[in-house]
Copies of this chain bind each other. A is one copy, B any other.
């Protein structure tokens, strides 16, 4: 498929997809006319990149995650180390998002119009 369809299916702008090729994250085929030609596997990777980027992982971290995902010898120790590290990070992110969610919900439902110094939520914002 062409870049437009890959863009539609992955949610990433075509510009970004070309950029990811520039920095070596993906390597699509080329058709005879010179157009990039993406397969289902490429779209999987692009969706994966779209997600992990939007969740606050850097491009270099995404590169590691992709390598993990592509690595043929998954049993190797360092690959497992990277995965374990990422798991810890993911758990932290989930915890922080949950707290942020709780805080926002308080802001909307509980704290309707109170002046700031009286509001106990202000403290919660910075804890953890």
Q: Bits for A84-127, please: 1 = Cβ < 8 Å to B, else 0.
A: 10110011011011101100110110011111100000110110
Q: Is A80 in the interface zone, CB < 8 Å from B?
A: yes
B56 and A113 contact, CB distance less than 8 A: no
Interface size class of A (residues with CB under 8 A): 35 or more
Taking A69-B107, A84-B108, A90-B100 as known contacts, 4 extra A-B pairs with beta carbons closer than 8 A to each other, sorted by chain A number, are: A47-B126, A51-B96, A87-B105, A90-B97
Spell out A's residues near B (CB within 8 Å): 41, 43-45, 47-48, 51-56, 65, 68-70, 72-75, 80, 83-84, 86-87, 90-91, 93-94, 96-98, 100-101, 104-105, 107-108, 111-116, 122-123, 125-126
